[in-house]
Amino acid sequence: MDFPKYDGNIHPDEWINDIQKYLRFLNINDGDCLKIAISFVDPIITLPNRIDSFEKLRNALREDISFKVFKCTNKKLLELLKYIPEKEGGNTSKFISNFRKLCYNSEINDIGEQKNYFCYALPKLSNVNGNNCYDYFLEFIKRWEKIKSMNDLINEIEEIVSIESNLIKNESIVALKHVSTGKYLSSIENLCYTTGSKLQLVFSDSQLVPDLNALWKIEFSNELATYNKTSICLRHIKSGKFLGLHYYYYYYTNQSKAYTYYKSPITEHTEVCCGGNKFKFSWEFKHSKLKNHQEYEYLKSNDIINLSTYRRDTSQNLFLRSHDIQFTIGSDNFQEVVCHNERLGGNDEWCIELIKQG
């Protein structure tokens, strides 16, 4: 195969190293290797008369004006480089490879300068159109002091990208696994309680992999759900109904309402059910393991959370709970799911699993 000439469009160090390997592969003796390499330099490159080593050839190529143009060109390309996430058709591996190559070609070796160029390449998406969006730039800045080398930089961006792929976005499909029993929050279309509201029942079901009855679409106003800020709704995928509490009310004066909530089948806590499209309940979430979870952190797959909703008659937040207690409809047993205002414990922990990102 023909070896490419040196014409100023490759880094001199790379070209010298490659041609040396190429000539050794062909078993050409050392005395002829240098002469052949010089003959492969394009005539547009002017070389000194006496070059008696590869090191002198390397230095001559670096001193030629073409190398200065080459470095400036690669620096401009580095300034124009933009990271595009996979969801938008990008390729993280190719982006990192291009970034490293452009740094090498433009001889940007200082890690501080490399970090600056990397920042320029990241999308800045925070609060686009008033919505919370994943901000690669901000996430990178948080890790700035940890990055001491190119390897550190790559490790951090890989972690940032990995976190983004696990974020729970608006209209994602999720499953909620009850931590203490390992069962999934479930509902069955048109299967209703025989007591209480007599609406579509909610229970915890034992499955290795969540089936359609255990899948929920999570809905909220922004692109991402932020701890301590965002309220969510959970719509059952198969039935299209929302997870919530059901109540009835009556007027005890001409203008005042009294609310009454239905009781769960066995423990007589507040019943949890699925209602129709107009039955849209909001839920708050907090991290069950981390106190003071910071506000800027987003809900992501495999977070262990507590879910709560508001009960109007008592003006209290009630927490979603399941336990080993079962109730029966016909010949089938179902693990009870309720809402309560007691002290939080292991039965109130739910692991949110991302099935499909929204």
Q: For residue 331, count CB atoms less than 10 angstroms from its CB and return exposed for 0-12, middle for 13-18, buried for 19 or more.
A: exposed
Residue finishing a domain among 119, 140, 166: 166
Domain that holds residue 115: 67-166
Task: Say yes or no: 90 and 239 in one domain.
Answer: no
The predicted structure's pLDDT at residue 126: 46
Domain count, the chain: 3
Q: What is the CATH number of the domain that holds 235?
A: 2.80.10.50
End-to-end Cα distance, the chain: 50
Q: How far apart are alpha carbons 26 and 14 in whole angstroms?
A: 19
The predicted structure's pLDDT at residue 128: 43
Examine residue 3 and state whether it is found in any structural domain, yes or no.
Answer: no
The predicted structure's pLDDT at residue 223: 87
The predicted structure's pLDDT at residue 313: 83
The predicted structure's pLDDT at residue 129: 45
Return the H-helix or E-strand segment holding 217: strand 216-219
Q: What is the pLDDT of residues 104-134, one digit of tens each?
A: 999 999 999 999 999 999 887 544 444 556 7
The predicted structure's pLDDT at residue 131: 53
Task: Say yes or no: 130 and 101 in one domain.
Answer: yes
Task: Say yes or no: 300 and 285 in one domain.
Answer: yes
Return the C-alpha torsion angle 154, 160, 166, 170, nearest 10.
Answer: -140
Alpha carbon 192 to its chain centroid, in Å, reads 37
Q: How far apart are alpha carbons 36 and 39 in whole angstroms?
A: 5
Q: What is the pLDDT of residues 79-98, one digit of tens each?
A: 999 999 888 899 999 999 99
Task: Say yes or no: 103 and 36 in one domain.
Answer: no
Residue finishing a domain among 147, 166, 185: 166
Task: Say yes or no: 194 and 301 in one domain.
Answer: yes
The predicted structure's pLDDT at residue 254: 64
Residue finishing a domain among 109, 140, 166: 166
Q: Which residues of the chain have pLDDT under 70?
A: 1, 125-133, 250-255, 276-279, 291-296
Task: Say yes or no: 102 and 201 in one domain.
Answer: no
The predicted structure's pLDDT at residue 308: 96
What length does the chain have?
358
The predicted structure's pLDDT at residue 130: 46
Q: How far apart are alpha carbons 84 and 98 in whole angstroms?
A: 13
